[in-house]
Structure 1
Amino acid sequence: MILVVFRSRFSDDVDGSYDTTERHLAQKVRELAGDDLVHLKNYRSEDGERLALVWWRSAESLEKWRNDTEHQDAQRRGKERWYSFYELSVAEVTRTSSSEDEAAYPSE
């Protein structure tokens, strides 16, 4: 399993186009990845930092998403306009333990 961790902070130039784009791409990634997208969670801290956590079953699906032209366009707009700070980390999950159904978190 692959975990993508995306931290960000909005710039003063962020506007409604961010929310529209985020909603559209969240739906698109679910359609594109299907069952390979395990979880997609977004959080915001009191100081305004944002955190997105995305669990993927395969590197191949993540690579497809990485190369999606709409996603790449949103990344460009994020760098140029929406974010004053961002950090992206991609990690391979070697083990997961959960109180939830084992099928939801298959071990690798």
Structure 2
Amino acid sequence: MILVLFRSRFSERADKEYDITEDRLARRVRELAGDDLVHIKNYTSDDGERLALVWWRNPETLERWRNDPEHQKAQQLGRERWYSFYELSVAEVIRTSSSEDASRYPGR
């Protein structure tokens, strides 16, 4: 399993277009990835920093998402307008332990 961690902080130029794009891309990623997308969670800290965690079953589907033209356009807008800071980390999950159904986590 692959885990993507995306930390960000909005710039003063972030606007309603961000929200519209985020909603559209959330639907698009689920369509593109299907069952290969395990979870998406978003958090915002008290100081305004945001964290998105996205679990993928395999790197191939993540690569398709990375190369998706609509996603790439949103990334460009993020760099140019929406974010004053961002950091993207991609990690391979070695082990997961959970009280939830183990079938959701292949490779355990």
Give the drift of 1:37.
Answer: 0.1
- Rounded to whole Å, the distance in 1 between the matches of 2:68 and 2:22 is 14
Give the structure 1 partner of residue 33 of structure 2: 33
Segments of 4+ in structure 1 off by > 3 A? none
- Rounded to whole Å, the distance in 2 between the matches of 1:18 and 1:95 is 34
Provide the secondary structure at the position in 2 that maps to 1:106: coil
Give the structure 1 partner of residue 10 of structure 2: 10
In the TM superposition, 1:1-108 aligns within 5 A as 1-107=1-107
Q: Which amino acid aligns with 2:97?
A: S
Q: Which runs of 5+ in 2 are unaligned?
A: none
- Rounded to whole Å, the distance in 1 between the matches of 2:105 and 2:58 is 13
Provide the secondary structure at the position in 2 that maps to 1:47: coil
Give the drift of 1:107.
Answer: 2.3
Q: Is the 8 A contact 1:98 1:105 kept in 2?
A: no
Q: How many residues align?
A: 108
Q: Which amino acid aligns with 2:92?
A: E
Q: TM-score, normalised by structure 2?
A: 0.98
Give the drift of 1:30.
Answer: 0.3
- Rounded to whole Å, the distance in 2 between the matches of 1:20 and 1:5 is 21
Give the drift of 1:106.
Answer: 2.0
RMSD of Structure 2 on Structure 1 (CA): 0.7
Q: Which amino acid aligns with 2:100?
A: E
Provide the secondary structure at the position in 2 that maps to 1:7: strand
- Rounded to whole Å, the distance in 1 between the matches of 2:22 and 2:42 is 11
